[in-house]
């Protein structure tokens, strides 16, 4: 696939995978992206997952049309992008490898590999001329590994964005971009919002017409849409008005409260997303918690704390710097209810969390009083 007249896509689709990074469900597979820049000097941008080495090399050879690559640009050392570096160097031993100093440290760790005289350390803001194309390297530490860099091609105004602007899903499956990009972002990159903000500031100084990520489609139209979403996500802003209800229930009483609240909110015209934490894809629940401005946590007391599924969910939120949201609490406890106290304490280090005034405590089973409390909570959240 041609990205421009002189830049070719040579990546692969993976439909064998079920869990990306061993944890994220990817029913539509994954794409591992790589690119070839054809100029006076030829550069290959990144490799692919180890299982697709031969397919990828065949794609590269086809794009080269008999030419020999002179540079391998390594933007990110995570194995889904870097695992075929040794394979590539075995085939093209005279290639110069361009990467950050930290990336070369990781090459030694992963592959016991040192390119020696063929090593080119990419300085932040440094440039490499291929002829018409001049590549400028922008270090992007902790987006989402410390060695990451992005690469800007001034000739075709292309930003090779590493894992930035990536998404779940193979490229031969048609799907809406934002949903799987959002789940990808908050699952994998979300903790590093300030670092993404730094990169967006650098990108704002560039004339970008095309974004070439390491996962997901090449983006060449309506770039303001994608840049705006990344601005919202990385600043922990509210993307959509609505309420996420996340519940963990044992015998169904806490579930009943959560669903009653959902019904009350929907009757008031409030958009909701409801997740049974014992059964949902946790990454989807995290995604919705960051997407909407209000979050309801409903859980039972368990072993002097909170239901373990809720405990897991809270940890996933707070380790990703969950902030700038309104949080409401529904707890259940038959003798000493402490779920609300435990859930609230999870946000002690979180910034700009506002707790709702109308919280609900259930003593074993729902009562008429609880139902009135839920109506008042719905009124508060609907404001």
> Is pLDDT at 49 greater than 90 in this prediction?
yes
289: Cα within 13 Å, side-chain hemisphere = 30
Looking at residue 366, its pLDDT comes to: 97
> Is pLDDT at 365 greater than 90 in this prediction?
yes
Looking at residue 1, its pLDDT comes to: 86
Give the rounded percent of residues in the chain with a pLDDT score beyond 70.
100
Domains of the chain: 7-234 (3.60.15.10), 240-382 (3.40.50.360)
> Is pLDDT at 155 greater than 90 in this prediction?
yes
Distances from the Cα of 356 to the Cαs of 242, 301, 330, 378, in angstroms? 15, 20, 11, 10
Mutual angle of helices 223-234 and 193-204, in 10-degree steps: 150
Give me the mean pLDDT over the 223-240 stretch.
97
Give the rounded percent of residues in the chain with a pLDDT score beyond 90.
99
> Is pLDDT at 205 greater than 90 in this prediction?
yes
Contact 147, 100 (CB under 8 A): yes
Note the pLDDT tens digit of each residue in 270-310.
999 999 999 999 999 999 999 999 999 999 999 999 999 99
Give me the mean pLDDT over the 16-35 stretch.
97
Distance between alpha carbon 377 and the CA centroid of its chain, in Å?
32
Looking at residue 121, its pLDDT comes to: 97
- pTM assigned to the model: 0.94
Looking at residue 272, its pLDDT comes to: 98
214 band by pLDDT with thresholds 50, 70 and 90:
very high
Mean pLDDT over each residue of the chain, to the nearest integer: 97
DSSP-assigned letters across all residues of 290-312:
HHEEEEEEEEEEETTEE-HHHHH
- The first and second tokens of residue 341, run together, are 């106290």
Element (H, E) at 44: strand 43-45
Note the pLDDT tens digit of each residue in 97-145.
999 999 999 999 999 999 999 999 999 999 999 999 999 999 999 999 9
Longest dimension (CA), the chain: 77
Contacts of 338 (CB under 8 A, 6+ apart): 301, 304, 305, 306, 331
């Amino acid at each position: 696939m041609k990205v421009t007249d002189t830049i070719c896509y040579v990546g692969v689709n993976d439909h064998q995978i079920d869990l990306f990074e061993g944890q994220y469900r990817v029913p539509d597979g994954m794409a591992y992206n790589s690119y070839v820049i054809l100029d006076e000097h030829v550069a290959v941008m990144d490799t692919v997952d180890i299982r697709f080495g031969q397919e990828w090399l065949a794609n590269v050879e086809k794009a080269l049309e008999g030419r020999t690559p002179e540079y391998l640009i390594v933007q990110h050392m995570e194995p889904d992008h870097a695992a075929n570096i040794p394979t590539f160097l075995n085939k093209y031993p005279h290639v110069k490898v361009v990467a950050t100093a930290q990336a070369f440290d990781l090459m030694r760790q992963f592959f016991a590999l040192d390119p020696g005289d063929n090593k080119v350390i990419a300085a932040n803001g440094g440039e490499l001329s291929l002829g018409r194309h001049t590549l400028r390297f922008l270090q992007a530490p902790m987006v989402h590994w410390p060695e990451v860099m992005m690469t800007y091609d001034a000739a075709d105004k292309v930003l090779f964005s590493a894992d930035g602007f990536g998404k779940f899903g193979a490229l031969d499956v048609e799907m809406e971009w934002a949903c799987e990009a959002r789940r990808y972002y908050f699952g994998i990159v979300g903790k590093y919002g300030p670092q993404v903000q730094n990169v967006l500031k650098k990108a704002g100084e560039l004339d970008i017409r095309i974004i070439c990520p390491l996962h997901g489609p090449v983006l060449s139209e309506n770039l303001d849409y994608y840049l705006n979403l990344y601005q919202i996500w990385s600043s922990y802003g509210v993307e959509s008005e609505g309420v996420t209800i996340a519940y963990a229930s044992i015998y169904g009483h806490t579930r009943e409260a959560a669903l009653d609240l959902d019904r009350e909110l929907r009757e008031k015209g409030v958009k909701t997303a409801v997740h049974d934490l014992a059964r949902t894809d946790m990454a989807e629940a995290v995604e919705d918690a960051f997407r909407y401005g209000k979050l309801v946590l409903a859980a039972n007391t368990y072993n002097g704390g909170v239901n373990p599924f809720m405990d897991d969910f809270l940890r996933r939120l707070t380790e990703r710097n969950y902030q700038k949201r309104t949080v409401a609490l529904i707890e259940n406890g038959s003798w000493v209810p402490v779920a609300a106290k435990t859930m609230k304490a999870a946000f002690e280090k979180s910034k700009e969390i506002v707790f709702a005034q109308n919280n609900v405590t259930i003593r074993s089973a729902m009562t008429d009083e609880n139902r009135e409390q839920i109506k008042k909570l719905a009124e508060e959240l609907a404001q």
